[in-house]
Amino acid sequence: MSEFLNDFIVGIDVSSEFSVVAMLEPNGSLIHKPFRIDHNPAGFNKLLGILKKEEERLKQKPIYFVESTGIFHLPLFFFLKSNDLKGFVLNPLCVHSTKNFDLRKVKNDAKDAESIARLAKFQDVKYSLVPEPQILSLRMLLREYYAISDMLTELKNRLCTDLYLLFPGYLDVFSNPFGKASLKILRDYQTPQAILSENPDTLAQMIAKTSRKGLIWGQKKVAKLVEMAQLCLQMPMEFSILSRKIQYHLDGIETFQANLEGLKDELAGMISNVDFPKNVRDSIILLEAMPGIGFLTAATILAEIGDFSRFHSPKALVAFFGIDPSVNQSGKFNGDRNKISKRGTRFGRRVLFTAALASIRTTCKGDPINPVLRDYYQNKCQNKKKKVALVAVMHKLLHYIFAVLRDQKPFEFRSPEDHQSWRNSTHSSLTLAA
């Protein structure tokens, strides 16, 4: 049964320029027809005036519900919140599940607003709160970081495509074609003819100075570059027009890289600011200390989680990240080829996947980053596919994150045997205390 069954409920269907509002009395009847408000000061104040008037009549404060619509619901949500009204956000998946309540095929904003209100009032629906402005700003900055990072990756892929035509074999010269030495070569020598006309010693010194790997290493790279350039002379001269295109790509790569560095600095400054919530800053520091998790990963996990107190078990956190297995069962049939649900935050899954990959790797000396998770992954790989085993590592990693955030204690390595012994001793202590 819904906890809002006897409350004055307001359902708001939000779009980019206006919203449609439906109001239900405590007995469930509709308070006149749904009405429209524009997203401007006049529209917001119109809604506030109507809500205050109905509040005086019903002797109850309204509780409003909005469907999550990217960023469009946020201005109205914060306006009502600043006027001492209580509100919640509904997941679109829950709202869309009500579209077949009526047999008639009617779909409009008024019906949607009424459906939101009735769903919140009569159904035990899952809802969420909009995080504090600082956490919301952190989340939006981080998502912008990943958007720019994706554009940078796309630009690098397009540059590689052009290099296949203009400089066949160039991608084999440098292990990282986007390193400083490689980018300087592409910037200063736009065609194979330019590389062949340059003094090899000058090229070697420039590569050695840029890469800081010594003159001998630079001379080896020059030898490969000359061999590559001689091969390129046999290519059609029309491909030389791609050199201008490569310069455009280089300009874009440098711009995006500078933007990413600027965003990193801004994120660090925001988190270290005295106005930023101290509990979230402390949690970021705790997660960052975990092996395989860096600053951006820790900040993203906390920004996507928002209010950690909502999660009372590791299973709830796993479901929020969409790592929980889907269920396909009907009658005597039980599906055994089920994938993860992917119903939660995709940005959280993205950084969790990166953290899982980092956790099962080894250092340059061959030491495992996280020996417990690496052994767990290798054992899973004996009878599971690698990606399935990696999802299991993500699942295990979320349990670690939950324990660190719950106890507010640094992560410590503990073998499965030691962990089981610790759990047994803790259970015995609690039994004796009871």
> Which pLDDT tens digits describe the chain residue by residue (434 residues)?
678 888 999 999 998 889 999 999 998 899 989 999 999 999 999 999 999 999 999 999 999 998 888 788 888 888 998 898 888 888 777 777 666 566 566 677 888 888 888 888 888 877 777 778 888 889 999 999 999 999 999 999 998 888 887 788 888 888 888 888 888 888 888 778 888 888 888 888 988 888 888 888 888 888 888 888 888 777 665 556 667 888 888 999 999 999 999 999 999 999 999 889 999 999 999 999 999 999 999 999 999 998 888 888 999 999 889 888 877 777 777 777 778 888 888 899 999 999 999 999 998 888 889 989 999 999 999 988 999 999 999 999 999 999 999 999 998 877 776 666 766 666 565 555 55
State the pTM of this model. Answer: 0.82
Q: Give the β-pairing of 333-334 and 329-330.
A: antiparallel
Question: What pLDDT is attached to residue 233?
Answer: 76
Q: Which CATH class is domain 8-130?
A: alpha beta
Cβ(262)–Cβ(199) below 8 Å: no
Q: How far apart are CA 283 and CA 409, in angstroms?
A: 9
- The residues, ordered by sequence, that sit 6+ positions from 1 with a Cβ below 8 Å of its Cβ are 124
The burial of 387, by beta-carbon neighbours within 10 Å (0-12 exposed, 13-18 middle, 19 or more buried), is given as: exposed
Question: What pLDDT is attached to residue 378?
Answer: 92
Cβ(272)–Cβ(281) below 8 Å: yes
> How distant is the alpha carbon of residue 146 from its chain centre?
8
**Phi, psi for 69 (deg, rounded to 5):** -130, 60
- The residues, ordered by sequence, that sit 6+ positions from 2 with a Cβ below 8 Å of its Cβ are 120, 121, 122, 123, 124, 125
Cβ(369)–Cβ(363) below 8 Å: yes
What number of CA atoms fall less than 13 Å from residue 22's CA on the CB side?
Answer: 23
**Phi, psi for 30 (deg, rounded to 5):** -80, 130
Domain ranges of the chain: 8-130, 137-263, 277-428
* Token pair recorded at residue 1: 């049964």
Q: How far apart are CA 162 and CA 159, in angstroms?
A: 5
